């Protein structure tokens, strides 16, 4: 959830017996902390509030960024009945009951609008999602879905086409510090050392709900011990294993990922596994780890074993399907494979060399024989004239053809290594180069490569 602004007065007086997250829940749009890219003045969601006409939408973002809060505020703004359904616990029966309640509100004396909020909507299957369609189309209720998953893949296209998608972002460090200040202003917890606040903010990792729940735990523990200030040392003692062992974005985090990457590059599967587990145990997001493994496969293995990149992508997909802890085994399998695979950074070096070349070089024109000629005028201007179609040539290779801009020497960006599949790639490149030389000089005997 996104807490209300510390500077905005509360429109109600919540009980101190309520959970802290509920006590600090925004009660007006102006109290929301974060999400100003959609809620700020002139931004899409703010304009939707101000229009006076609710519309169906999907709120897509990680946990604890305000999806439920925004949906509730929308219901308040439009004086609408708010019906909440959890896709994790609910089913068709809940949808049917929501329809009945919406009909009763529409046909009642007050003729009230209805907003149906579905949390974790991606958990509903296709038929359950389809059950909303006729009622959304008829205008019986406004549908708001909340999801942590990409709606392009998890929400039916028919429902998605009838709803605007708003992407919510993790709260910034500054946003989270404002929430801590708000909790202190509400006298919900004692003073906190700045170092301890920084640690709490890093632990929350953009999730306001996690931060507020942690603050509530600390407040109760501090009250029992009659503390007047929460120190960093006490914070670590109380929360123990719940705290990250390194701050996300901090020096130790990047030192550890560096150790993992270098262990893979150094072909040490035991060390690579150790650093992977250290990061997961320390609270690193497995999705982040999966992305880094994909990068390692492309950068350090490349075409020496092209299967490595596919396996890294498969491991990432497996984790998305299984989650923790089952999906982490796929990451471990990938780490071991990457560590023992033959290594090559030839493509990585070639790409960087090509980038450096293009950056310092002028914009060379595309040779006429390589240009596209979709119109008669272009053909009359000799676009594509003289191009040799490789498939029609012997061995599927147009020996002697030039594919670089005129006057540009062979740059030699890509230099395959003598490891793994690149051994064969290097041999093929040598053979093709010899055929090009032979085509330029008829006295040179071209090799019989079979390509």
Q: Does residue 398 have a pLDDT over 50?
A: yes
Shortest CA distance to 390 belongs to which of 415, 362, 369, 368? Answer: 369
Asked if the model's pLDDT at residue 442 lies above 80, the reply is no
pLDDT digits (tens, 9 = 90+) for 268-297: 999 999 999 988 887 788 998 999 999 999
**Structure-token pair, residue 386:** 């003289």
Token reading at 364: 């060379």
Between CA 85 and CA 95 the distance in angstroms is: 8
pLDDT value of residue 424: 93
Q: What would the pLDDT profile of 55-79 be if each residue is shown by its tens digit?
A: 999 999 888 899 999 999 999 988 8
Average pLDDT over every residue of 375-393: 90
Q: What is the pLDDT of residue 451?
A: 44
Predicted local confidence at residue 292, as pLDDT: 94
Q: Evaluate if residue 300 carries a pLDDT over 90.
A: yes
Q: Give pLDDT, residue 4.
A: 53
> What is the rounded (10 degree) CA torsion for 290, 351, 419, 427?
140
197-217 mean pLDDT: 88
Tokens of residue 352, six digits: 């960087």
Asked whether the predicted pLDDT for residue 443 surpasses 70, the reply is: no
165 has which bridge partners? 58
Contact predicate 78/55, CB 8 Å: no
> Residue 184 in contact with residue 192, Cβ under 8 Å?
yes
**Average pLDDT estimate for 384-397:** 92
Q: Assign residue 281 a region: left if phi > 0, alpha if psi is -120 to 50, beta otherwise? A: alpha
Mean pLDDT for all residues in the chain: 87
State what percent of residues in the chain have pLDDT above 70: 91
Render pLDDT for 330-344 as a digit per residue (tens, 0 to 9).
Answer: 999 999 999 999 999
* Structure confidence at residue 187 as a pLDDT band (50, 70, 90): confident
pTM over 0.85, yes/no:
no
pLDDT > 90? residue 201: no
Instruction: Give 119's contacts (C-beta < 8 A, 6+ positions apart).
Output: 67, 68, 84, 85, 86, 87, 88, 146
Looking only at the bridges linking them, the beta strands covering 57-60 and 114-119 are unpaired
Averaged pLDDT for residues 394-402: 90
CA pair distance 338, 312, nearest whole angstrom:
8
Mean pLDDT of 15-44: 85
Q: Does residue 66 contact residue 36 with C-beta atoms inside 8 Å?
A: no
User: Is residue 8 predicted with pLDDT exceeding 50?
Assistant: no
């Amino acid at each position: 959830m996104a807490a209300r602004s510390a500077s905005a007065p509360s429109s109600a007086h919540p009980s101190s017996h309520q959970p802290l997250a509920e006590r600090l829940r925004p009660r007006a749009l102006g109290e929301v902390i974060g999400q100003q890219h959609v809620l700020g003045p002139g931004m899409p969601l703010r304009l939707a509030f101000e229009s006076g006409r609710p519309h169906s939408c999907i709120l897509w973002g990680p946990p604890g960024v305000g999806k439920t809060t925004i949906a509730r505020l929308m219901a308040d703004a439009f004086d609408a009945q708010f019906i909440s359904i959890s896709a994790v616990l609910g089913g068709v029966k809940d949808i049917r009951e929501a329809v009945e309640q919406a009909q009763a509100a529409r046909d009642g004396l007050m003729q009230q609008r209805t907003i149906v909020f579905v949390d974790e909507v991606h958990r509903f299957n296709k038929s359950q999602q389809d059950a909303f369609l006729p009622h959304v189309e008829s205008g019986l209720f406004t549908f708001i879905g909340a999801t942590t998953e990409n709606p392009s893949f998890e929400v039916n296209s028919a429902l998605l086409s009838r709803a605007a998608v708003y992407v919510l972002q993790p709260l910034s460090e500054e946003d989270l510090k404002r929430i801590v200040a708000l909790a202190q202003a509400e006298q919900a917890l004692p003073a906190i050392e700045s170092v301890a606040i920084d640690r709490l903010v890093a632990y929350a990792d953009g999730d306001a709900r996690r931060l507020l729940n942690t603050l509530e735990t600390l407040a109760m523990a501090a009250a029992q011990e009659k503390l007047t200030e929460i120190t960093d040392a006490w914070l670590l003692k109380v929360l123990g294993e719940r705290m990250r062992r390194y701050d996300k974005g901090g020096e130790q985090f990047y030192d550890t990922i560096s150790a993992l990457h270098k262990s893979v590059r150094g072909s040490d599967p035991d060390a690579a596994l150790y650093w992977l587990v250290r990061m997961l145990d320390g609270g690193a997001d497995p999705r982040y780890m999966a992305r880094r493994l994909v990068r390692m496969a492309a950068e350090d293995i490349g075409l020496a074993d092209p299967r490595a990149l596919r396996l890294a992508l498969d491991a990432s997909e497996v984790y998305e399907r299984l989650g923790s802890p089952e999906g982490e085994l796929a990451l471990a399998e990938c780490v071991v494979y990457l560590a023992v695979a033959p290594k090559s950074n030839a493509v990585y070096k070639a790409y960087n060399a090509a980038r450096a070349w293009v950056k310092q070089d002028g914009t060379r024109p595309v040779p006429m024989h390589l240009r596209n000629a979709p119109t008669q005028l272009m053909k009359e201007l000799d676009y594509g004239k003289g191009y040799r179609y490789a498939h029609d040539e012997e061995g599927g290779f147009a020996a002697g053809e030039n594919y670089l801009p005129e006057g540009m020497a062979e740059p030699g960006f890509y230099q395959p290594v003598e490891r793994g599949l690149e051994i064969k790639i290097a041999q093929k490149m040598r053979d093709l180069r010899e055929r090009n030389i032979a085509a330029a000089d008829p006295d040179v005997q071209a090799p019989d490569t079979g390509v």
